[in-house]
Amino acid sequence: MYVSDGRTTGNYSLVIPSVMLNHTGRYQCYNKQPARDKIIKAYELLVCPKSEPLTEFFSNREVVVLRCNSDITESVRVVWYRKTGHVDNVIKDTGPDKQTNYPEDLIGIINASNPPYYLVLSNISLADSGEYWCAVLYEGVCLSVTKTVLVEWDPFGINSTFYRVYSSLMTCALLGMVCVLITLNLKTRRRDQASLKTRRTEAQRQRSSRGEEEEGESDEGRGEMKESEEEK
C-alpha cells in the first residue's frame, strides 16, 4: 500500500492495489497540529473471503427470499447491504448500534428474520434489481459473505424457458444440417471413388487390349517373315 502524493492536489489517499484478508482493520487519517492531532477521517476496512455470487431471478410484483449462506449465532454480527450503481445502502446491521436503515424504496416491502438469516422482499419491481450482500463478522473479522444478484426475469431472455427451448431446437436443426452435409460429402466421395475406379479399370482394359493387338501384329509379322524364308 502507499499514500498518493498530494503536495499539488491535496489528495493524500491511502491506496491498497490488491486487498487481502490481512488488510482488515481500522484506518485513520490525522492532521498534525502543534497542540494535538486532529482525526480527519476514520475507516473500518473489513475484507471478506471470496465466494461465488448467486443469481436470483424475479418477476414483477413477486416475493423473493434472500438467504445468508452462513452459520449465524448470537455472538456474530450480521450486516445486510445493497449495492445499486455506485451507491451502497446498509439495510440491517446487528452490530453495537443495532442499525436498521431500510432505503426509502424498500420501506413497506422488506422484512428481515430474527436473527437475520434472510431478507424477504415482496411486491418487488425492476427498481429493486441490484446486488444484495450479507456479511457475517466476529470480533472484527469477516467470516463469510454472500452476494446475491437480483435480476428481473425476462420471459424471452437468455434464462427463459422460451430461450432454452429455442436454443434446443436450433441446436437440433444445426446438428441435422451437419449430419446431412456429412452424408452428402460421404456419398460424393464414394461416387468419386467409384468413378475413379471405373476409369482405372477402363484404362487397364484398354492397355490390355492394345497389348494383345500389338502382340498379335508381332506374331503375324513373324509368321510372314517365316513364310518368306521358306519360299527362298
Indicate whether 62 and 148 sit together in one domain: yes
- Where does 30-135 have alpha helices with state H? none
Q: Is residue 63 part of a domain?
A: yes
Report the domain count for the chain: 3
From CA 207, how far away is CA 50, in angstroms rounded?
80
Q: Is the backbone of residue 103 left (phi > 0), alpha (psi -120 to 50) or beta?
A: beta
**Residue 61's domain spans which residues?**
54-153
Residue 75 sits in a domain of what CATH number?
A: 2.60.40.10
* pLDDT one digit per residue (tens) for the chain, 232 residues: 888 888 888 888 899 998 998 898 889 888 777 666 788 888 888 888 888 888 888 888 889 999 887 777 777 888 888 887 656 778 888 877 776 777 777 888 888 887 778 889 888 888 888 899 998 988 888 888 999 998 887 665 555 555 566 567 778 877 878 787 888 888 888 887 777 777 777 777 777 776 666 666 565 555 555 555 555 5
Q: Is residue 215 part of a domain?
A: yes
Q: Is residue 232 part of a domain?
A: no
- Where does the chain have alpha helices with state H? 161-231
Indicate whether 113 and 88 sit together in one domain: yes
**pTM across the whole model:** 0.56
Indicate whether 147 and 59 sit together in one domain: yes
Closest CA to 10 of 24, 26, 31: 31
Q: Which CA distances in Å does 119 have to 57, 65, 83, 110, 208? A: 15, 6, 15, 7, 93
